[in-house]
Amino acid sequence: MTYPSIAAIPGEQEPQLVDPIEPQGPESGEVLCETIYLGICGTDREILHSASPHVPFGAEQLVLGHECLARVLEVGEGVADVRAGDLVVPAVRRPTTGATTEGIDAFKLKRRPDMMPWGAYVERGIVWEHGFSLPQWIDRPEYLYHVPTGIEEIAILSEPISVSEKAVREAEQAQAARLGEQEWLANPPRVLITGMGPIAFAAVICCRARGWDVTVWGRDSEDTFRAALAREFDATYVGLDGLSFSPANVEQDGFELVLECTGNDRVMMRSAGLLAGCGIMVWLGASRLPQVSEFDVNQIMRSAILGNHLFIGTVNNAPQDMQSAINHLAKLNSQYGGAIAKMITQQVDPQDSLWHYTNRVPQGIKTIVKYAQWS
Ligand code: BGC
């Protein structure tokens, strides 16, 4: 059976099932892959909500799907890094082939793709290139990451985990640059993660892989599935009233690292009050909805200056982050494999997936779309 693609169409907020594009190739230096699993994420929902997807040049729709587990079917001449039968996870972002880069400073085009400005990159399934909701597609080997044996069922989480990996790595690097390599190695940061979506749980995985103590703050009550799942990772879960956002002694009761995954300005502003000296907050979640401002931003800024805080915005990932995500899944598999697998809360076939592109299941974390068997 050939499954359909899931497409975002300009002017429409609902996704559509469409006939898949037939791949041509693989040519020399290319790889033919088949999709096994796709992950649905908030970005897919935002693309649809906007009703203005960034469709590839000359196309009428954008084929969605950027979180993917795939199998290599065939390799073109000269491809040595991957072989038929390998399981892989593709990178989302790549440099453009040039057509849209007019007006962008040349030095910015030499940056790592995740640090490039808008216009200099494409993202498969998101920006100007079709994604992976396709039974088969062509790629280049440098964008494919090997999945080791044993993590086949959870490797679909690699891409969202890599986004959190980047956030954590940037915080580590910033801290090492200003306080020395030993600072967080000798004194692991206390971490607060705000939110209970896939990126928040991905952040839990990144921090637990480093052996750090984690507190997760969310809106759920203590007896919910997601609160219990946070605890399965040996994180402390605190609900709405469980955390004082203005502790009397922030050095004692605060956090060295806050990973903000809600995208909610109220949560962000309040959790800024929990940063201990030299603390770092990384923003990973962004909300598309404009919010009413109700906080004393000046005070936050003053604390940031006097407390040497860093606020970092991060997006996408570096190749090393993709690799870390996969390595950390493999590393944590024996201890937390069961908990990680529980993050996949729904599994649907492509033709039953459309509802999930515009709705969330209560207590759901990650819905995956199944195109093929991995074994
Ligand atoms: C993806 C990233 C991407 C970002 C912005 C996220 O959902 O996981 O790879 O860079 O959206 O488009």
Same domain? For 144 and 173 the reply is no
Give the pLDDT score at 286. Answer: 73
Taking only the tens place, the pLDDT of each residue in 350-371 is 999 999 999 999 999 999 999 9
Determine the average pLDDT of the residues in 329-345: 98
How many Å apart are CA 365 and CA 374, to the nearest integer?
A: 22
Q: Which CA distances in Å does 128 have to 62, 110, 123, 190, 311? A: 8, 20, 7, 39, 30
- Reading across the β-sheet that carries 5-8, which strands appear in turn? 16-18, 5-8, 62-63
Same domain? For 85 and 216 the reply is no
Taking only the tens place, the pLDDT of each residue in 50-78 is 999 999 999 999 999 999 999 999 999 99
Q: Is residue 363 situated within a structural domain?
A: yes
Same domain? For 138 and 10 the reply is yes
Q: Is residue 187 situated within a structural domain?
A: yes
Q: How many CB atoms lie within 10 A of CB 76?
A: 16
Same domain? For 27 and 142 the reply is yes
Cβ neighbours of residue 51 closer than 8 Å, sequence gap 6 or more: 10, 11, 12, 13
Same domain? For 164 and 29 the reply is no
Q: Is residue 26 situated within a structural domain?
A: yes
Q: Is residue 323 situated within a structural domain?
A: no
How many Å apart are CA 79 and CA 27, to the nearest integer?
A: 10
- Reading across the β-sheet that carries 275-283, which strands appear in turn? 236-238, 214-217, 191-194, 255-260, 275-283, 310-313
How many Å apart are CA 9 and CA 174, to the nearest integer?
A: 41
Contact 115 CB / ligand 1 (< 6 Å): no
Q: State how many domains the chain has.
A: 2
- Nearest-CA residue for atom 3 of ligand 1: 316
What is the CATH number for 223? 3.40.50.720
For residue 102, give both structure tokens.
């007019």
**DSSP for 252-293, written as a single string:** HHSEEEEEE-S--HHHHHHHHTTEEEEEEEEE----SS----
- Nearest-CA residue for atom 7 of ligand 1: 43
Same domain? For 35 and 136 the reply is yes
Question: Of 54, 64, 163, 322, which is best to mutate to test ligand 1, by the most ligand atoms within 8 angstroms of its C-beta?
Answer: 163
- Nearest-CA residue for atom 12 of ligand 1: 126
What is the CATH number for 100? 3.90.180.10
Q: Is residue 149 situated within a structural domain?
A: yes
Q: Is residue 18 situated within a structural domain?
A: yes
Which domain-ending residue is among 313, 331, 352? 313
Same domain? For 131 and 207 the reply is no
Determine the average pLDDT of the residues in 334-346: 98
- Binned at pLDDT 50, 70 and 90, residue 293 comes out as low
Q: Is residue 48 situated within a structural domain?
A: yes
Q: Is residue 275 situated within a structural domain?
A: yes
How many Å apart are CA 260 and CA 284, to the nearest integer?
A: 6
Give the pLDDT score at 290. Answer: 56
* Mean pLDDT score across all residues of the chain: 93
Q: In terms of pLDDT, which residue wins out, 103 or 86? A: 86
Question: Of 49, 93, 116, 287, which is best to mutate to test ligand 1, by the most ligand atoms within 8 angstroms of its C-beta?
Answer: 93
Determine the average pLDDT of the residues in 159-184: 96
Counting from 1 in the atom list of ligand 1, the atom nearest the Cα of 42 is 7
For residue 292, pLDDT beyond 60? no
Distance 316 CA to ligand 1 centre (A): 5
Contact 163 CB / ligand 1 (< 6 Å): yes
For residue 291, pLDDT beyond 60? no
Determine the average pLDDT of the residues in 210-231: 97
Contact 265 CB / ligand 1 (< 6 Å): no
Q: Evaluate whether 214 touches 204 at the Cβ level (below 8 Å).
A: yes
Please indicate, yes or no, whether the overall pTM of this predicted structure exceeds 0.75: yes
How many Å apart are CA 211 and CA 207, to the nearest integer?
A: 6
Same domain? For 116 and 221 the reply is no
Same domain? For 203 and 291 the reply is yes
Cβ neighbours of residue 179 closer than 8 Å, sequence gap 6 or more: 278
Taking only the tens place, the pLDDT of each residue in 263-289 is 887 888 899 999 999 999 998 887 665
Counting from 1 in the atom list of ligand 1, the atom nearest the Cα of 317 is 9
Taking only the tens place, the pLDDT of each residue in 181-193 is 999 999 999 999 9
Contact 175 CB / ligand 1 (< 6 Å): no
Same domain? For 252 and 132 the reply is no
Q: The domain containing residue 174 runs over which residues? A: 160-313
Same domain? For 295 and 165 the reply is yes
Taking only the tens place, the pLDDT of each residue in 109-146 is 999 999 998 899 999 999 999 999 999 999 999 999 99
Question: Of 38, 47, 66, which is best to mutate to test ligand 1, by the most ligand atoms within 8 angstroms of its C-beta?
Answer: 66
263: left (phi over 0), alpha (psi -120 to 50) or beta: left
Give the pLDDT score at 309. Answer: 74
Same domain? For 193 and 120 the reply is no
Handedness of CA 93, 94, 97, 98 (dihedral sign): positive
